[in-house]
Amino acid sequence: MVVRNGYNPERTIQTGIGDVSVRMPKVRDRSQNGVVFHSSLIPPYIRKTRSLEELIPLLYLKGVSTGQMQEALAALVGGEARGFSPALVSRLKAKWTKE
């Protein structure tokens, strides 16, 4: 028997319209079938939506420097664009160059 067992801690996901708080249900499998719940809407460990991450290369190609990326994203997203440090943009740039 599979039952819901409360919720995991609330977390925040950055989207194009701002931060969204989500609570994922915990699922407990009382049988020995090994049923595991995985949300098809919210992948595990996600912090930013894919559309927000795809915006970084576009801004870079338009000439926004790595140091100004967080400020440009804050203007687009509205509010703080956390997690977009110049070091992250540089690492992503190196990854794009390899591709």
DSSP codes of every residue in the chain: -EEEEEEPPPEEEEETTEEEEE-PEEEEE-SSS------SSS-TT--B-HHHHHHHHHHHHTT--GGGHHHHHHHHHTS--TT--HHHHHHHHHHHHH-
Which structural domain range is residue 51 located in?
Answer: 2-98
| Domain count along the chain | 1
pTM of the model: 0.59
Tens place of pLDDT for every residue, the chain, 99 residues? Answer: 667 778 888 988 888 777 889 988 887 777 777 767 777 888 888 888 777 778 888 888 888 888 888 788 777 777 666 777 788 788 888 887 887
Length of the chain: 99
